[in-house]
A and B are shown apart, each in its own frame.
Chain A
Amino acid sequence: MIREYRTTVEISGPLMFVENVEGVTYEELAEIELPDGTIRHGRVLEVNESMALVQLFEGSSGVGISQSVVRFLGKSVELGVSETMLGRVFDGQGRPRAPFDTFPPIVPDRMININGSPLNPYARDYPAEFIQTGLSSIDGINTLVRGQKLPVFSASGLPHSAVAAQIARQARVIGEGESFAVVFAALGITFEEADYFIRDFKSTGAMDRAVVFLNLADDPAIERIATPRLALTAAEYLAYQKDMHILVILTDMTNYCDALREISAARREVPGRRGYPGYLYTDLSTIYERAGRVKGRKGSITQIPILTMPEDDKTHPIPDLTGYITEGQLILNRELHKRGVYPPMDVMESLSRLKDKGIGKGKTREDHADLFNQLMAAYSAGKNARELAVILGTAALSPLDQQYLRFAEEYERRYISQGEGENRTIEETLDLGWELLKLLPREEMKRVRPEHLDKYWPAGEHS
């Protein structure tokens, strides 16, 4: 049953109030026909007696009260999915997006509600398969595993796009030739940035294995609320129905949160910190928690959301709440970037919570965990020494502190730093770690089990 109404009584920001409606349900999809025949879309945010509150995806400009016809479609927002989505570029509502994609719409295999249902925690399988990204700062230190959600906390002016593209290009599980695909959602980023990713995907042949959803900076902001959910719906279909391993890249989540704030403000809700709605955590979790693995199903969804921290501030609500939901974070550091370190990964503040299950014997190598602990401890001591050197001068440092200082320099220059095209194997990364540790006295290796120390750094070998 399709019902048409000409009873719009108020338009305010991206919201529209329609009166005297009947049988309208929460989250229902609505179509708004303007006098010139253009169709806009929206969804029901609230129904109160006979009044419906509709959120307009394309914004309200050009929508009038008297001439608009509102139709409620009796279903919630859905995405038509099919395997032929691979290689295609869609807009923020799932339609082919010119000029990147000039083909006709896909023929859907099925229609799926974009909100998904919560995955039963009992049905989850713990992510434990090591993904080799070829970046030492990730593989060696903040190891990514299949089914993890690991965001990149970046800031304006930092090369997060290059890092994400490099991960998308190089990521693989060692020794497996399983089907792998990238789902990429652009949320309010510029044409240039989106174009960078698409060109990168095309030039490396990754485009054939990619599904792209674009909501660019000049596209309607409210549409961004739906875009990540479209991307994840496509990802879930490919992962769990078509047995593929999907890497989902969402950039930039800050723009998504701002769109959410816009709607919240228009609804005059009680704001939480910095004007973001109190339910930001819950809302973000319905996106991030859609990463994972499911028992008995082959595919998986690994998520790398990217967000830019306003004023490089990690305690801003967006990175803060994201960090509470995701399984770690990769933080890019402006100071390292200025010193020419690429990727400018702040390994001290970055963290992969799932790494412990993804590393070690049979996954990477038996010494990985101890080596990681030792490298972190040594780098931390080196950074302390560097601070001290600023105050006292290098000459005043103890000989041991000087060794640590040198270690920290070399660690940044050789371990964290690498080329945009450089794809290191995990063995190369681990061996490099040992090589650098040998800049220090052997008895400083407190975090390494004696058996590993003896194997990778036999007593008596130079230090």
Chain B
Amino acid sequence: MTKGTIRKVAGPLVVAGGMAEARMYDVVYVSDMRLLGEIIEIKGDAASIQVYEETWGLGPGDRVYSTGEPLSLELGPGLLTSIYDGIQRPLDKVRERSGDWISRGINIPGLDHSRRWEFTPTATVGSAATGGDFLGSVPETATVEHRIMIPPGISGTLAWVAPAGSYTIDEVIAKVRTASGEEVDLRMYQKWPVRRARPVQKKMAPTEPLVTGQRVIDAFFPVGKGGTACVPGPFGSGKTVIQHQLAKWADAEIVVYVGCGERGNEMTDVLQEFPEILDPRSGKPLILRTVLVANTSNMPVAAREASVYTGMTIAEYFRDMGYSVALMADSTSRWAEAMREMSGRLEEMPGEEGYPAYLGTRIAEFYERAGKVHCLCSGEREGALTVVGAVSPAGGDLSDPVVQATLRVVKVFWSLQARLAYMRHFPAIGWLESYSLYTENLRDWYGKELDAGWTALRNGAIALLQEEANLQEIARLVGAESLSSEDQLTLFTARSIREDFLHQNAFHEVDTFCSMRKQVRLLGLIMSIHESLSRAIGAGASPKDLFSLPFRESVARARYVPENRLEEIDRILETAGSEIEGVLEQTARAGEGA
């Protein structure tokens, strides 16, 4: 073990001498309090260390001990339902040890080494074994089966596998004989360095949407399973609510939620809510499929930098089991700021707005760890890792370097608009500004799983909204009354799309989640009414009479129709149809009278 001596302390940065043998990104213990740190620069025999804990009380002369290993996680049963800090210390255990406030120098392993798990072997002795192959499984929670895998990099033949029974993660449950005849002991957990992507066989393009139950996302700007999305927006525009909604309702099998440099109360909210909310698919509490990483803004800044990688590595590990995983990172801007702070302390030459010149590279590398993949294993197995990053640009200005670097790599952009938030139109995702580059990839899936006309329906609705934006300029100048009947109809339907479809109340028990089936019916309802109205106007009916028909109120309530009574939406359409028919008859009669 290398031992060094502190020379300099400046905030979270410590420089230690006598570290000639240290390697970049090795983990070190700083001072006899054993504060955890990581080497981020080496000059001669001096190593610059970012310390994951507060550094007050440290001074020149204190010792530094290198572990010779990079920052790694323990991956195995026990991850789910946990809440970790940025370097995988379980916060519930930390509380048991140090009380309500986090004291320093607490080193607790990420997994519980004393807990016993029910292991069932699935692999056969004598078969070829390679990294990623399943050895057996553990029912980790009521909804998730934890598949125990051979760690990447090991291959040979399976020499022995333990019989079914309960084991701790420290017990050997299998042995692999490698080509050189050596026997490798395998346990139920493996270690993996956070900054290195876990290997896969092959990456593929996403072809299936991540259904989130949020209409503006699923219908207009979908993200594919294995895709990347970003949500930039000023404060108060609802980034966190969107991230929470996705973590709650997205049809992923595993959700990893990283609270990176954000509010402590938001994590408390997740912690208190997720055990209560039932997953609409499994009927079991959402927390059973969730891993939380919480490095709130008042926790040490260096650990915040590590937290996104910790979350990513856990997510990749579950992806390797063949699961569809969603990672929410809120907020990547705080991660970037942590990089900026360390870069400043290292006195590196700054790039834009003081951010380090490698900001774009780091962000691209991060999002590139997402993807739909053929998992590493000797057979065929597909997994997907979808990444959704929130970005908090300074002043809500999208020219912010973090936003720009992110937009260069992600395929979906949900643009949060302060304007919509003030109007309390939530989710405040701007329909004119946002985009998704997955719609083409997903077309086949929509054709197969949904109504064949879905894409046309959706494109029609978007076209109306775009037209509305143009018309509004004119209406502002000359007044809506002086527009042509057709244009008035466009405004009428666009308003209905905005208020009755895109607007969604995250705090309403029914409206918070909307299945694809219901989305198709809702949008179908609005667009069918649009067509009927258009025909009626063509036949000479007065827009004024049509727009004041009572169906408006029932259309507005259609989104509160529970999932098990969707036929009510069809009835609303029938009623609307007959009301419009009524006006047409009147028009015809009036025409005859004249």
Q: Is A270 an interface residue (CB 8 A)?
A: yes
Q: Is A24 an interface residue (CB 8 A)?
A: yes
Residues of A within 8 A of B263 (CB): 289, 325, 327
Q: Which of B54, B272, B424 contacts A380 (CB 8 A)?
A: B424
Q: Is A27 an interface residue (CB 8 A)?
A: yes
Most buried by A among B55, B94, B235, B556: B235
At the interface with chain A, which of B99-107, B183-191, B309-317? B99-107
Residues of B within 8 A of A24 (CB): 59-60
Most buried by B among A23, A45, A324: A324
Q: Is A294 an interface residue (CB 8 A)?
A: yes
Q: State how many angstroms separate the Cβ of B497 from the closest Cβ of chain A.
A: 14
CB-CB contacts below 8 Å: A307-338 with B: 314-317, 320-321, 323-325, 327-329
A354 CA to B236 CA, complexed, in Å: 12
Q: Is B211 an interface residue (CB 8 A)?
A: no
Whether B60 contacts A47 by the Cβ 8 Å rule is yes
Whether A354 contacts B265 by the Cβ 8 Å rule is yes
A321 CA to B331 CA, complexed, in Å: 13
Whether A278 contacts B341 by the Cβ 8 Å rule is yes
Q: Is A285 an interface residue (CB 8 A)?
A: yes
Residues of B within 8 A of A354 (CB): 265
Q: State how many angstroms separate the Cβ of A149 from the closest Cβ of chain B.
A: 9
Q: Is B47 an interface residue (CB 8 A)?
A: no
CB-CB contacts below 8 Å: A9-23 with B: 22-23
Residues of A within 8 A of B353 (CB): 272-273
Whether A391 contacts B265 by the Cβ 8 Å rule is no
Whether A289 contacts B297 by the Cβ 8 Å rule is yes
CB-CB contacts below 8 Å: B292-329 with A: 294, 296-301
At the interface with chain B, which of A118-126, A161-169, A208-216? A118-126
Question: In chain A, what residue has the closest Cβ to B96?
Answer: A122
Given A282-B337, A376-B424, A398-B481: A119 and B298 interface contact (C-beta under 8 Å): yes
Q: Is A351 an interface residue (CB 8 A)?
A: yes
Q: Is A349 an interface residue (CB 8 A)?
A: yes
Chain B 407-443 interface 0/1 with A at a Cβ cutoff of 8 Å (1 = within): 0000000000000001110000000000000000000
CB-CB contacts below 8 Å: A233-278 with B: 240, 269-273, 278
Whether B423 contacts A76 by the Cβ 8 Å rule is no
Which secondary structure characterizes the binding site on chain A?
mixed
Whether B265 contacts A327 by the Cβ 8 Å rule is yes
Whether B269 contacts A126 by the Cβ 8 Å rule is yes
Q: Is B92 an interface residue (CB 8 A)?
A: yes
Q: State how many angstroms separate the Cβ of A441 from the closest Cβ of chain B.
A: 10
Q: Is B340 an interface residue (CB 8 A)?
A: yes
A377 CA to B57 CA, complexed, in Å: 54
Question: In chain A, what residue has the closest Cβ to B507?
Answer: A356
Q: Which of A26, A123, A297, A315 contacts B95 (CB 8 A)?
A: A123
Given A119-B100, A320-B394: A349 and B83 interface contact (C-beta under 8 Å): no
Q: Which of A26, A282, A315 contacts B297 (CB 8 A)?
A: A282
Whether A278 contacts B8 by the Cβ 8 Å rule is no
Whether A126 contacts B272 by the Cβ 8 Å rule is yes
Q: Is A46 an interface residue (CB 8 A)?
A: yes
Whether A126 contacts B95 by the Cβ 8 Å rule is no
Whether B297 contacts A325 by the Cβ 8 Å rule is yes
CB-CB contacts below 8 Å: B1-38 with A: 7-11, 15
Q: Which of A45, A279, A315, A377 contacts B341 (CB 8 A)?
A: A279
Residues of A within 8 A of B476 (CB): 388, 391
Whether B394 contacts A317 by the Cβ 8 Å rule is yes
Question: In chain A, what residue has the closest Cβ to B267?
Answer: A121
Residues of B within 8 A of A449 (CB): 560
Given A46-B9, A317-B394: A26 and B55 interface contact (C-beta under 8 Å): yes
Whether B83 contacts A122 by the Cβ 8 Å rule is yes
Whether B354 contacts A278 by the Cβ 8 Å rule is yes
Residues of B within 8 A of A115 (CB): 54, 56
A295 CA to B268 CA, complexed, in Å: 11
A24 CA to B560 CA, complexed, in Å: 65
Q: State how many angstroms separate the Cβ of A323 from the closest Cβ of chain B.
A: 4
A285 CA to B56 CA, complexed, in Å: 18
Chain B 507-518 interface 0/1 with A at a Cβ cutoff of 8 Å (1 = within): 100000000000
Residues of A within 8 A of B102 (CB): 117-120
Chain B 537-574 interface 0/1 with A at a Cβ cutoff of 8 Å (1 = within): 00000000000000011001100100000000000000
A325 CA to B8 CA, complexed, in Å: 31
A24 CA to B57 CA, complexed, in Å: 8
Residues of A within 8 A of B165 (CB): none
Most buried by B among A27, A124, A323, A377: A124
A46 CA to B59 CA, complexed, in Å: 9
Q: Which of B94, B235, B269, B334 contacts A122 (CB 8 A)?
A: B94
Q: Is B467 an interface residue (CB 8 A)?
A: no
Question: In chain A, what residue has the closest Cβ to B295?
Answer: A121
Residues of A within 8 A of B344 (CB): 269-270, 278-279
Given A292-B264, A324-B235, A327-B265: A25 and B9 interface contact (C-beta under 8 Å): yes
CB-CB contacts below 8 Å: B436-458 with A: none
Residues of A within 8 A of B280 (CB): none
Whether B422 contacts A281 by the Cβ 8 Å rule is no
Most buried by B among A351, A398, A450: A351
CB-CB contacts below 8 Å: A120-170 with B: 120-127, 147
Q: Is A402 an interface residue (CB 8 A)?
A: no
Chain B 88-131 interface 0/1 with A at a Cβ cutoff of 8 Å (1 = within): 00011011001111111000000000000000000000000000
Most buried by A among B101, B340, B499, B553: B101
Q: State how many angstroms separate the Cβ of B22 from the closest Cβ of chain A.
A: 19
Q: Is B350 an interface residue (CB 8 A)?
A: yes
Q: Which of A48, A328, A377 contacts B424 (CB 8 A)?
A: A377
Question: In chain A, what residue has the closest Cβ to B355?
Answer: A278
Q: State how many angstroms separate the Cβ of A144 from the closest Cβ of chain B.
A: 14
Q: Is A111 an interface residue (CB 8 A)?
A: no
Q: Is B396 an interface residue (CB 8 A)?
A: yes
Q: Is A392 an interface residue (CB 8 A)?
A: yes
Q: State how many angstroms separate the Cβ of A152 from the closest Cβ of chain B.
A: 15
Q: Is B479 an interface residue (CB 8 A)?
A: yes
Question: In chain B, what residue has the closest Cβ to A46?
Answer: B10
Q: Is B460 an interface residue (CB 8 A)?
A: no
Residues of A within 8 A of B139 (CB): none
Whether A49 contacts B100 by the Cβ 8 Å rule is no
Q: State how many angstroms separate the Cβ of B265 from the closest Cβ of chain A.
A: 6
Whether B100 contacts A123 by the Cβ 8 Å rule is yes
Residues of A within 8 A of B58 (CB): 25-26
Residues of B within 8 A of A270 (CB): 344, 350, 354
A271 CA to B92 CA, complexed, in Å: 38
A297 CA to B101 CA, complexed, in Å: 13
Whether B265 contacts A120 by the Cβ 8 Å rule is no
Whether A278 contacts B340 by the Cβ 8 Å rule is yes
Q: Is B582 an interface residue (CB 8 A)?
A: no
A253 CA to B9 CA, complexed, in Å: 28
Q: Which of A28, A124, A349, A353 contacts B268 (CB 8 A)?
A: A124
Q: Is B486 an interface residue (CB 8 A)?
A: no
Q: State how many angstroms separate the Cβ of B258 from the closest Cβ of chain A.
A: 12
Whether A117 contacts B103 by the Cβ 8 Å rule is yes
Q: Is A224 an interface residue (CB 8 A)?
A: no
Name A residues whose Cβ lies closer than 8 Å to a Cβ of B: 22-28, 45-50, 76, 113, 115-127, 147, 240, 269-273, 278-279, 281-282, 285-286, 289-290, 292, 294-295, 297, 314-317, 320-321, 323-325, 327-329, 348-349, 351, 353-354, 356-357, 369, 373, 376-377, 380, 388, 391-392, 396, 398, 443, 446, 449-450
State the 10 A-B residue pairs at the shortest beta-carbon distance, nearest first: A315-B395, A285-B297, A27-B56, A25-B59, A289-B298, A323-B235, A117-B101, A123-B100, A122-B91, A26-B9
Q: Could you list some 14 contacts between A and B, CB below 8 A?
A: A26-B58, A50-B60, A121-B267, A124-B264, A124-B265, A147-B265, A272-B354, A273-B394, A278-B354, A289-B296, A295-B100, A317-B395, A325-B263, A396-B479
Q: A122-B271, A285-B261 are in contact. List 11 more A-B contacts (CB 8 A).
A: A26-B9, A26-B10, A122-B294, A278-B337, A278-B341, A294-B100, A321-B394, A323-B234, A329-B236, A354-B265, A396-B479
